[in-house]
A and B are shown apart, each in its own frame.
Chain A
């Protein structure tokens, strides 16, 4: 996993932050595709740059894209102190059994680094725009929510073949023996968002402001501003697999 290099300022004038029509928004998305392709060599992946890969056809795209709200999370990785309150809050909120996890914190140790030698890397389902798990599921038990882009599980349809677990390039799924279905992060959709809460349990529990949760399609949101800040280094997990994650990592 390499971070993208510092990204030069965008040469094209940025679109205004005002509400734009669907057509204008899609035009912007196409520009977004060009920008990320040119400057980041594919490392920086705009969540909104996968027109051809996410949908079967452009017709489908016209009807259902972009997601509104387009839920996304930016992780300010260097702020994480590994207190694991996010992991606990997640387990409590979503009935995650002890043998499983929807989110966890990995540790990267580099002895030769100056100053800090340990980095903590929170990981959770990337809610990919081109999710390998959704393509692989035989019964549509896991699916991309057409409204908000969350990769959902319909537990009652899960046959337990575990193909989604093999397909996920980030190991973000586990088999839950209580529900007899594969379980995964859904941004607390059933437990919080659908009940009017605006944050996921992990984002709310984080004392260090690591997990910024919000609507990527809203130019006023912090996730939008951070992902579209071409001066900041932004990266995702396993970009080479082409799944177009919606969990972005940054510093500062």
Chain B
């Protein structure tokens, strides 16, 4: 990056302020304790992932031949959805110039990078041969494969967002806007391809169709709004500061985005079910598993109530100004959305492909339960986001920046 050259002189002071920030932070015992706890989660996740790899994922993970994708895939989806959402919602300010959104830009871009790194962390332990991936994604690309596009575009996206953040730190806003725009374009392309990874599998009725890419982008924005509000609120707690009016205004308008997107996703979900029930037997079975079957608690309580309805009510009641209420709402959303991704991935596979053949081997729904190893890797990913967030607040001085 040519941009680094001109800022060579600014490097030393930045390191100094960064260290001062971290030093200030770790003198606070609660901060230090949380930071170490997050780091330990990452270490535990790495250990579980490495162990799984050494004994074979077939033994260590809960996935099977029939249900090959489990909680590691859904957690990857969760992280990249959040990252894309952070990028998209914050881009309203730092790319498209709506001034009200500008104060959230720097932290959002930083968190977009942190969450995509966490996503890659989790997927690293899911992919059986990361080394082969690094080689053959480059020398043997399959351009009809959504996985290929998704991986490649997310790689580009991460690079654009990381450069944009660097430029924001350096206050080179014009160039940052360009990089932010590239981030939005690659993020939308990558994320819709992730939707298409599922949507283009015509052997899997629950997923198949054009709905998935559209749903993924929309629900990314819903996740993004939640993540911005939650992390901004947390950041001010961590830093022990009061929000200024600009930041309050930014969260107020972000809340409006959250309200709109929850409504859109509720609308999408309603039609997905109504239309699905007019479909084939396999699809109806999958939908029933969510409505009244083994995934009903996940669906009604975690996805609908915790993930959307309660946050919607809280957002409305908060009028965008009651920060505690908004933080609670967005925290519930992030929690509920985690299970939304889980259900999306798992329920797509629990109807056996041979179900309609009526063979005795496949008479009912398949089951999948996350293993200890899988859960540890997931916690490692969550720990990584937490660790990077906490560290980032101190290194970058609370992500303060003027509007650009």
Contacts and interface: CB of A to CB of B under 8 A. Distances in A.
Asked whether A and B interact, the reply is: yes
Interface in B188-235: 197, 200-204
A181 B132 CA distance: 11
Interface in A128-152: 132, 135-141
Given A139-B136, A177-B56, A108 B129 contact: no
B65 A138 contact: no
Contacts of A139: 132-133, 136-137, 140-142, 148
A5 interface: no
Contacts of A135: 142, 144-145, 200
A181 B57 CA distance: 12
A162 interface: yes
A158 B129 contact: yes
Contact of B132 (A1, A121, A123, A158): A158
B349 interface: yes
Contacts of B127: 159-161
Contact of A99 (B58, B132, B147): B58
Nearest to B131: A159
Contacts of A156: 132
A194 B392 CA distance: 59
A159 B129 contact: yes
Contacts of B202: 132, 169, 241-243
A171 B128 contact: no
Given A161-B127, A241-B203, A100 B148 contact: no
B63 to A, nearest CB: 8
Nearest to A172: B353
B137 A166 contact: no
A106 interface: yes
Contacts of B197: 136, 163
Using C-beta atoms within 8 Å of the partner chain, give the interface range for chain A. Answer: 35 or more
B132 A159 contact: yes
Interface stretch (B36-44, B92-100, B112-120, B357-365): B357-365
A243 B356 CA distance: 17
B203 A168 contact: yes
A70 B361 CA distance: 31
A170 B151 CA distance: 26
Contacts of A162: 63, 68-69, 128
A132 B202 CA distance: 8
A136 B146 contact: yes
Contacts of B353: 168-171, 238
Interface string A165-201: 1111111011101001100000000000000000000
Given A171-B66, A180-B129, A136 B145 contact: yes
A157 to B, nearest CB: 5
B147 A161 contact: yes
A156 B140 CA distance: 11
A175 B354 contact: no
Contacts of B57: 175, 177
A109 interface: yes
A107 interface: yes
Interface in B275-307: 280
A109 B358 CA distance: 8
Given A138-B147, A158-B129, A241-B202, A1 B141 contact: no
B178 to A, nearest CB: 29
Chain B CB within 10 A, most for which of A99, A110, A121, A163: A163
Nearest to A171: B353
Contacts of B129: 158-160, 180-181
20 contacts: A1-B356, A106-B360, A107-B360, A135-B200, A136-B146, A138-B151, A139-B136, A140-B140, A157-B136, A158-B128, A159-B129, A159-B136, A159-B137, A161-B126, A163-B145, A170-B354, A173-B65, A175-B58, A175-B128, A238-B203
Given A136-B200, A157-B140, A181-B128, 4 more contacts: A135-B145, A136-B147, A138-B151, A238-B203
Going nearest first, the 9 A-B pairs with the smallest beta carbon separation are A160-B128, A169-B203, A139-B136, A138-B148, A159-B133, A106-B359, A162-B68, A138-B147, A165-B68
